[in-house]
Structure 1
């Protein structure tokens, strides 16, 4: 099975790369042209001008995540002093949230009763934030009720919320532990650690809730083991969902499908059982894979360099941010 999946991945990558005309693609920090990418049932085109900032200001550095609310607004976390940036679904600037939201390494949307909130892992500040959709901080973890966190929060990289309202947090740049907190931020359980065995991680970079099987599971991007793994809500290992990936950083689920941001120059769409279905923006120049300081002249429309965060929107399009020093956000419109 492993060899079969690997063969499909390689063949699909070649198909996606061969489909594109790489020699004549406009370059720049904001996409300026329509370029097609993908294969099979998942084919997309880029949207020029999406996520442009006022007066030509850079959106980045984009070392963070992407989230979309029920109204279609797009939120992008950055390492700039303006922090999280909010755009309309058409990509027009709405507002930025300010320095308190700077350097949220991950960003996700969560339901809270009839409301929606943003959750993010602040890697430099070593905390998790819950925000309203205007950027007001509603909760910080750790707080006075958290208790002692084994291994601390150094290197915190991702967070998701379970159906019961608990927070699940990964520390992929540090201990490789995963922590469970209740809705108030009280620590309930810790598991994981560094390694390649079941239930261990080598850079547990991103995490999301996966309900596609009918049972709520945690889907973890085990980046340097190049795989996605499932855990139940008590951290019992349930299996490898997909492997032979190119350093998966983040995953977003819509219906039966998962879109994976792979740091080595590609986004992959996976089926319900983890099978690769489509390859998007596959970067043919391996020298640009997983590189943050990429010159603007080499940021070609329709090709990724270092996909780090992404989200499906409400219409089946995908918003992707590259890990990039000047900032790079691409909307892939479903064809």
Structure 2
């Protein structure tokens, strides 16, 4: 069994040299200078112990991602897609952190996003909030190919009326049957269900104090761990995750007492939760916390959009907003940040 370790443990260069995959910048010919060159940190515990990959996600010529208020998705080839509110729209990286391309998509400002395989092709489904865009004020759900082209959008000619409109769109998830679920966490707090063509089927939820109501239904996920697929909702300001069936009927609370959950990603029987108040947690199938990643002791940085790069610490989060596992269980985490920030956490292999 793997022993528990302190949530953040620093490794010296000498220690790092003895670790598997020991290079802090695997795949980089010219790693960044400073702390990233000299320090790798461990975070988490048990089967979900990780080490940081300093310098991951650097752009050419020292450019910034632009405001990150969105999500992360990983395609079948292992490429990582990070949404931004800047002109780049989507930035794509290799698993080693090297930059592939920026996609100046008309779907700038994707807030929640999910990678979906349909036949032999993959698509990005996104909730386009576009808080900071000046040229394009769309607030809609979009289906994109992997080069940022819009394949479908909601609303469209098939949609019909959407109660409360699309103001405040935050989350999106696609069920195995192709139905699309979109949350209005910054608006009506309704969740809308659409078919594959974008036709609205029904709406449910809404804002309220009752257990079936929400207070910022932020991110969504399709949970297939319990037989029939369920909708997992990040009810952010009630600090909980709740389960609904795919018709919107109440199943129950899955986890409570969280630090403003924003987004989820599944790996086997576990789920990672991006919490805006400066940490990521891993929960088991029963909703029990089994690992804490990147917990920030400085509460002034919790949910703080304006933490400057010079004040950010390797392995410490400020405002996790989007995240995704890859197939190997590594995690990619995006902080809500004015300059833009994305981190990779590399899963440490279990030892006897």
Instruction: Give the TM-score, by structure 1 length.
Output: 0.91
Q: Tell me how far apart the structure 1 counterparts of residues 216 and 44 of structure 2 sit (CA, whole Å).
A: 28
Aligned pairs (5 A) from 1:1-335: 19-20=8-9, 33-124=39-130, 125-335=138-348
State whether residues 30 and 51 of structure 1, in contact with CA within 8 Å, keep that contact through their aligned partners in structure 2. Answer: no
**C-alpha root-mean-square deviation of aligned residues, in Å?**
1.9
Matches of 2:224 and 2:6, distance apart in 1: 29
Please state which structure has a larger fraction of its residues in helix. Answer: 1
CA distance in 1, matches of 2:320, 2:335: 4
Q: Give the 3-state SS of the residue equivalent to 1:297 in structure 2.
A: helix
| Aligned residue-pair number | 317
Find the aligned partners of 2:50 and 2:321 in 1 and give their Cα distance.
19
**Distance (Å, rounded) in 1 between the aligned partners of 2:221 and 2:186:** 17
Aligned residue number for residue 3 of structure 1? none
Deviation of the 1:60 alpha carbon = 2.5
- Output the CA distance in 2 between the equivalents of 1:47 and 1:109: 23
Q: Tell me if the contact between 2:294 and 2:315 (Cα under 8 Å) persists in the aligned partners.
A: yes
Cα distance between partner residues in 1 of 2:256 and 2:45: 20
* Cα distance per residue 1:116-161 (max 9 Å; x no partner): 1101101132101111112111111111111010010000001010
2:105/2:148 contact within 8 Å kept:
no
Contact 1:31–1:50 (Cα < 8 Å) also in 2: no
Deviation at 1:107?
A: 1.5
Higher relative contact order (CA 8 A, sep 6+): 1
Question: What's the TM-score, normalizing by structure 2?
Answer: 0.87
Distance 1:202 1:210 in 2: 21
* Inter-CA distance 28–287: structure 2 relative to 1 (3 Å threshold): farther
Q: Distance in 1 between matches of 2:107 and 2:193?
A: 22
Aligned mates of 1:148, 1:179 — CA distance in 2: 11
Task: Look up the SS of the partner of 1:175 in the other structure.
Answer: coil
Any stretches of 5+ residues in structure 1 without a counterpart?
A: 1-11, 22-26
- Give the superposition deviation at 1:30: 10
| Alpha carbons 2:73, 2:114 under 8 Å: kept | yes
1:28 Cα deviation (Å)?
Answer: 10
